[in-house]
Structure 1
Amino acid sequence: MIDGTRLTKSAIRWGMVGGGKGSQIGYVHRSAALRDGYFDLIAGAFDLDPQRGRDFGAELGLDPDRCYADHNAMFAAESARPDGIRCVTIATPNNTHYPIARAALQAGIHVICEKPLTFTTAEALDLQAIAGERGLVVGVAYGYSGHQMIEEAARLVADGALGDIRIVNLQFAHGFHSAAAELDSPAARWRVDPAFAGPSYVLGDLATHPLYISQVICPHLKIRRLLCTRQSFVASRAPLEDNATVLMEYDSGAVGTCWTSAVNAGAMHSQKVRVVGSRGSVEWWDEHPNQLRLEIQGEPARLLDRGMAYLHPQALADDRIGAGHPEGLFDAWANLHYRFALAIEAHEDGVPSRVAGLRYPGIDAGVEGVRWVETCVRSADAGGVWVDYL
């Protein structure tokens, strides 16, 4: 149970690119990273406007001399200091992730990056190679995967409680962009512009979250081929999709579906992951993240609750407060950040094997997310055909 006891020797000296004033995701990253004292924010390049970025850094209590005009200036200055940053979070639009992450890794700085990690699989593999050569950690912000009941679902699958896995149903389909929200919202505008968002909108922005969760729950399932169709119901978003459906076949014979949408009018998040086996099923819903629905054929359905003694020990490891008290998104993100810190320290100590069993979305998850989106786009743009998953 997390009780405030530090699991690392010291806080990670930490910087941030993007995530400045008015950035919701920047606030989430800072809240999660600073929550347990595993990170210490000491530098930043928070804004395209250098003065606005410095002013924001001052609001956060940073030394103005360590609030930089851009990421290149920050990496050059900080890597030359004995007390320079050891890790940087990238909370900028998608088109900047690859060059910023590459520059950080080349400067010897660990990376925590918003998803998708890059535009292309080739770019993601390049980052993977650099990180591997330099012994650096790359974490990807699949924040929902830090919820504890996902770990319980993974343990139930591993124990065989569900039997042989047959079906995986994924969904992330909200309704907040059922009209052209981007006309009034700069935060929404770049997400539907290919120059900034890349080759997809909801596939990369939404669907990769439940995709990664499914990989946590069922790590043995490997996609063999998939078929994707995508639509732009708000026509001005074309060629980027605001709705997509993906069919997947796994090498085990299991099948999967993923529906992702920003035009599911009236819906909140509607992110759900359902895994169906030969004996039973589990379902997790991010609007009720402290619970996991377990259904065994021939038995009454059960609603498992976070923090209860009947859960697997691994699902209780990240409890921050006793059962009955709700935990939410910030707790989930904080769970990932303390794992990032453990991984960074182990790599810096030269013993990455120390965290070999530690679950967090690292560089492999980042590469896989980009590969999946790229394959989905290839299928959709070919007319919605089955394509091999390479």
Structure 2
Amino acid sequence: MLYGDRKTKAARRWAMVGGGRGSQIGYVHRCAALRDRHFDLVAGAFDLDPARGRAFGADLGLDPARCHADWRSLFADEARRPDGIDAVSIATPNNTHYEITRAALEHGLHVICEKPLCFTVAEAEDLQRLAEEQGRIVGVTYGYSGHQVLEHARELVAAGELGEIRLVNLQFAHGFHNTAVELENPAARWRVDPRFAGPSYVLGDLGTHPLYIAGMIAPRLKIRRLLCARQSFVASRAPLEDNAVTLMEYDNGAFGTAWCSAVNAGAMHGQKVRIVGERASLEWWDERPNQLSWEVQGEPTKILERGMAYLHPAALADDRIGTGHPEGLFEAWANLYDRFALAMEAGDEGRPAPVHYPGIAAGVEGVRWVAACVRSADQGGVWVDYR
């Protein structure tokens, strides 16, 4: 169980790019990073408007001199300080991720970046090469993967409890954009604009979350080829999709589906991961994140609860409050930032990371999956080789 005692030797001198006033995800980043005292927020470039960004930084209690006009001045000025930052989180629109992440790595910083990591596989692989050359950690915020029952699911697969995996069913299908909400909502507007969002909307924004979770639970499964069809039911969003269905063949013969949608009218969040083996199945639904459904053929379904002693020690290690109390998104993100901090410290000391976490390889994989889905869909929904 986690009790808030810091597991690293010292707090990181940490900054944010983006995530300013009115940013819901910026608040999530800060709550997660500061939870276990692994990170100390000392600087930032929080807004495209320098004055508004400085005012927000001051409201956070930062030194006004370290509330920078933009990310370029943030990196340059902090590099000249003996107490300058050594890690940065990037919470900006998708079209900026590659340039800012690359600059951060060139300044020797560890990076935590929103997904998707960038637009193209070539850009993602370039960041991977640079991160390895610099010996820096790049974490990607697949925040839902921090829910502790997913660690138990991972251990069930590793122990062979499901038998050979046959089916992988992924879903992230909500209904909150079933109309053109972007006409009135700036936070939604950039997500459906290819200049800022990149080559996809729901595939990249939603689908990469359950894709990463499935890969975390069953890391030996590798996609061999896929077929994707995508639609723009709100016509003004074209060429970006607000609904997509992807079929996937894995190298062990397993078959997968992924439904990504922002027009699933009436649905709240709709993210589910179901993995079916020859003997048993498991399912996780992020609207009930503290439970894992465990279904053995011929036996009653079991609902495994967060925090219970019957869970694997790897799941209990992420526990933050006693059994029966519900944990949620903020705890999941805090678990992720805890792992990022441990990986950064290990990297600084030349050691392998002592924990698994969504790193640069996960970021590359997400970009590769979106690119393959778009390629398939734009050719009329044909099977395409994945690698």
Fold match (TM-score > 0.5): yes
1:42-191 to 2 correspondences below 5 Å: 42-191=42-191
What is the CA–CA distance in structure 2 between the aligned matches of 1:21 and 1:184, rounded to whole Å?
A: 18
Aligned residues: 387
What is the CA–CA distance in structure 2 between the aligned matches of 1:369 and 1:87, rounded to whole Å?
A: 22
Deviation at 1:350, TM superposition (A): 2.3
Which residue of structure 1 aligns with residue 297 of structure 2? 297
What is the CA–CA distance in structure 2 between the aligned matches of 1:379 and 1:3, rounded to whole Å?
A: 47
Structure 2 unaligned blocks of 5 or more = none
Structure 1 unaligned blocks of 5 or more = none
Which residue of structure 2 aligns with residue 367 of structure 1? 364
Do the aligned residues in 2 keep the contact of 1:117 with 1:366 (CA within 8 Å)? yes
What is the CA–CA distance in structure 2 between the aligned matches of 1:110 and 1:248, rounded to whole Å?
A: 33
Deviation at 1:35, TM superposition (A): 1.0
Letter in 1 for 2:356: R
Which residue of structure 2 aligns with residue 358 of structure 1? 355
1:260-271 to 2 correspondences below 5 Å: 260-271=260-271
The answer as to 2:375 corresponding to 1:378 is: yes
What is the CA–CA distance in structure 1 between the aligned matches of 2:330 and 2:110, rounded to whole Å?
A: 22
What is the CA–CA distance in structure 2 between the aligned matches of 1:137 and 1:165, rounded to whole Å?
A: 31
What is the CA–CA distance in structure 1 between the aligned matches of 2:350 and 2:355, rounded to whole Å?
A: 16
What is the CA–CA distance in structure 1 between the aligned matches of 2:120 and 2:80, rounded to whole Å?
A: 31
Which residue of structure 2 aligns with residue 317 of structure 1? 317
Deviation at 1:161, TM superposition (A): 1.0
What is the CA–CA distance in structure 1 between the aligned matches of 2:4 and 2:110, rounded to whole Å?
A: 24
Which residue of structure 1 aligns with residue 385 of structure 2? 388
What is the CA–CA distance in structure 1 between the aligned matches of 2:341 and 2:298, rounded to whole Å?
A: 44
Deviation at 1:10, TM superposition (A): 0.7
Deviation at 1:6, TM superposition (A): 1.2
Return the TM-score normalized by structure 1.
Answer: 0.99
Letter in 1 for 2:39: F
Deviation at 1:81, TM superposition (A): 1.2
1:199-238 to 2 correspondences below 5 Å: 199-238=199-238
Deviation at 1:156, TM superposition (A): 0.7
Deviation at 1:182, TM superposition (A): 0.1
Identity of aligned pairs, percent?
A: 73
Q: Deviations over 1:190-249 (max 9, x none)?
A: 000000000000000000000000001110000000000000000000000000000000
> Counterpart of 2:321 in 1: which secondary structure?
coil
Do the aligned residues in 2 keep the contact of 1:15 with 1:41 (CA within 8 Å)? yes
What is the CA–CA distance in structure 2 between the aligned matches of 1:6 and 1:28, rounded to whole Å?
A: 19
What is the CA–CA distance in structure 1 between the aligned matches of 2:132 and 2:78, rounded to whole Å?
A: 22
- Could you say what the CA RMSD is over the residues aligned between the two structures, in angstroms? 0.6
Letter in 1 for 2:369: W
The answer as to 2:237 corresponding to 1:276 is: no
Letter in 2 for 1:371: R
What is the CA–CA distance in structure 1 between the aligned matches of 2:5 and 2:57, rounded to whole Å?
A: 28
What is the CA–CA distance in structure 2 between the aligned matches of 1:183 and 1:5, rounded to whole Å?
A: 46
Deviation at 1:5, TM superposition (A): 1.7
What is the CA–CA distance in structure 1 between the aligned matches of 2:53 and 2:197, rounded to whole Å?
A: 23
Q: Deviations over 1:122-141 (max 9, x none)?
A: 00111101110010000001
Letter in 2 for 1:55: A
Return the TM-score normalized by structure 2.
Answer: 0.99
Q: Deviations over 1:28-83 (max 9, x none)?
A: 10111011111100000000110000000000000000011110100001112111
Letter in 1 for 2:376: S
What is the CA–CA distance in structure 2 between the aligned matches of 1:279 and 1:77, rounded to whole Å?
A: 58
The answer as to 2:250 corresponding to 1:253 is: no
What is the CA–CA distance in structure 2 between the aligned matches of 1:71 and 1:379, rounded to whole Å?
A: 36
Do the aligned residues in 2 keep the contact of 1:79 with 1:108 (CA within 8 Å)? no
> Counterpart of 2:298 in 1: which secondary structure?
coil
Letter in 2 for 1:9: K
What is the CA–CA distance in structure 2 between the aligned matches of 1:7 and 1:385, rounded to whole Å?
A: 49
